Amino acid sequence: MKSFSDLRNFCEYIVNRYGSPGAATEDEKAEEFRKVYLRNFTPNLKTIRAVTSACGIYLNSIDGKILPRTMRGYHDVFEGKRKIYYKEGDTISGIENTILHEFREMIEPVFTEVCPNYDPLRTSAVHLAANRFATAVLLPKDEFREKVYETGFDVIALSKLYSKSCSQVLLRMGEVLQGKLFMYAALYEPDLESQWQVTYWASSFNDIDPDENVYGTDGLFPRKARAVAPGSLVDMAVKTKKPHLARCITLLDSKDDDGLVALARPLNIAGIPVRIALVVLLGLNSDLLAPQVERTKPAILDGFHRHL
């Protein structure tokens, strides 16, 4: 039996199972990674370090001052030795992500060796694939989706539960709910001048029943760098430091418009809000927010019209 300590054997395993690396999604590659390397162990820094060690990959911390501001690590392969470098002093979650990200980037050229017909991903695509792979290993799709429902779509609670950043949790929500139902979620944070704006956002759509989606109102849902609108749900959460729920955000002038339901929850540290998590669902799915509503006891507004 071939040893999976040889990365080539793991890549061959993926090719034999799916026909081509491109035929396996990053979620599927992550599932195979957990199955082969982690077995029944929880993916955390200790187990991830053990996997890399077993695969002959050396881990090294590096002074963050010599790295570009947006870079958390990198890898190199020299004279047959594989090394992954991560930022010294980074959070545990950040180090976990860096190691798994670099692992995924590291096996991309190996895929081309074991599958000559495979069209390798370009640099930017490899980076995105590595991000998805790392997140999928740390936040397994089915289990994480179940926790999303259990917490009532609570980004902050999920962040604490998994010891992961709110941004990673929010983006993963969009991935695991895709095709299941309509959802929009955003994370708001203050900039250096204390002006609040969207730093991350995610969405999902209902592929089973296309009618259970929102169309033609893209401007309603803020994208990255959009500032907080005065009088909005998020604005209220920032100013009062308390969660706010809009039970009915109407989109039409019809009385039959079920509209949307939205909940803005602040994460307060030492009594000061440092980020706001906004989640928006169709009004007919408002019951899905119940666990979060019961736990956070938000201020309730009967509704807005075409306004978040």
Is the pLDDT score of 155 beyond 60? yes
Quick one: tokens of 159?
Answer: 């962040």
Mean pLDDT of 104-111: 96
- In this predicted model, what pLDDT tens digit does every residue of 21-64 receive, in sequence order? 999 999 999 999 999 999 878 999 999 999 999 999 999 999 98
- In this predicted model, what pLDDT tens digit does every residue of 215-225 receive, in sequence order? 877 678 999 99
- In this predicted model, what pLDDT tens digit does every residue of 227-261 receive, in sequence order? 999 999 999 999 999 999 999 888 766 555 668 99
Non-local CB neighbours of 263 within 8 Å, separated by 6+ positions: 153, 233, 243, 244, 245, 246, 278, 279, 289, 292, 293, 298
Tell me, what's the pLDDT at 255?
A: 54
Residue 45, phi then psi, degrees to nearest 5: -60, -40
| CB contact at 8 A, 278 and 264 | yes
| CB contact at 8 A, 14 and 37 | no
Tell me, what's the pLDDT at 257?
A: 60
1: pLDDT confidence band, cut at 50, 70 and 90? Answer: low
- What does the mean pLDDT of the chain come to? 93
- In this predicted model, what pLDDT tens digit does every residue of 261-289 receive, in sequence order? 999 999 999 999 999 999 999 999 999 99
| CB contact at 8 A, 168 and 93 | yes
Q: Beta-carbon neighbour count of residue 72 at 10 Å?
A: 19
Cα–Cα distance, 289 to 124 (Å, whole number)? 36
Mean pLDDT of 180-204: 95
Domains of the chain as residue ranges with CATH: 7-138 (1.10.10), 141-305 (3.30.450.130)
Cα–Cα distance, 237 to 16 (Å, whole number)? 52
DSSP string, 202-246: EEE-BSS-TTSS--S-GGGS--TTPBPPTTSHHHHHHHHSS-EEE
Cα–Cα distance, 227 to 234 (Å, whole number)? 10
Cα–Cα distance, 193 to 231 (Å, whole number)? 20
Mean pLDDT of 138-154: 97
